[in-house]
Amino acid sequence: MELLELIRQPWPWYVAGPLIGLTVPALLLIGNKSFGISSSLRHICAACIPANIPFFSYDWKHEIWNLVFVAGILIGGFLAGHFLANPEAIQISPQTVADLKALGIQDFTGLMPGDIFNVANLFTLKGLVFFVLGGFLVGFGTRMAGGCTSGHSIMGISNLQWPSLVATCCFMAGGFAMTHLILPHLMKLF
């Protein structure tokens, strides 16, 4: 199999999971750095906002590696999406399709349901709820938990940090509650 074809194919969990997991010891061994994405927004704000806000008053240049890491993720995502995209349709479980259709979602052509997440919905009440309110709640939760799912679930648990285990359990419980208790009611409203 050609290397390009190998990269284009979905990788099984037993390959992708350990590769993601190996970023933890690699970051620790290379530079004693912790993996996490949400802190990059704080670094960007500290660099761009000249206000005297205590939360942003620190030496963000010491954490510039995190901004380079996030830039690499963005560039890698762009390159993968434009040059390495798998031309086959995204595989979704038939049960998931049936559950989503029961909620009124019919568009399964992209990574996210187009019935909810599209530019046409951006300036509607549905867009306000799913994009603005949802984004605010994710940001608030990330700040309140002291990190995002990747930081806690990948980095924190691998370092045996009790707060990361608790945060990850709360992320999972919140996701289940949203999926099974709140989303069906929101979809009926819109």
Span 128-152, average pLDDT = 86
Q: What's the CA gap between 36 and 27, in Å, rounded? A: 11
Span 150-169, average pLDDT = 88
The percentage of residues in the chain with a pLDDT greater than 90, rounded to a whole number, is 16
Q: What's the CA gap between 113 and 68, in Å, rounded? A: 30
How many angstroms separate the most distant Cα atoms in the chain?
56
> For residue 143, what pLDDT is reported?
83
> For residue 155, what pLDDT is reported?
84
Q: What's the CA gap between 119 and 65, in Å, rounded? A: 33
Span 98-106, average pLDDT = 89
Say if residue 166's pLDDT is above 90: yes
Q: Which pair of tokens denotes residue 98?
A: 């049936």
Q: What's the CA gap between 15 and 162, in Å, rounded? A: 27
Q: Which pair of tokens denotes residue 40?
A: 């990059």
Q: Which pair of tokens denotes residue 10?
A: 């979905």
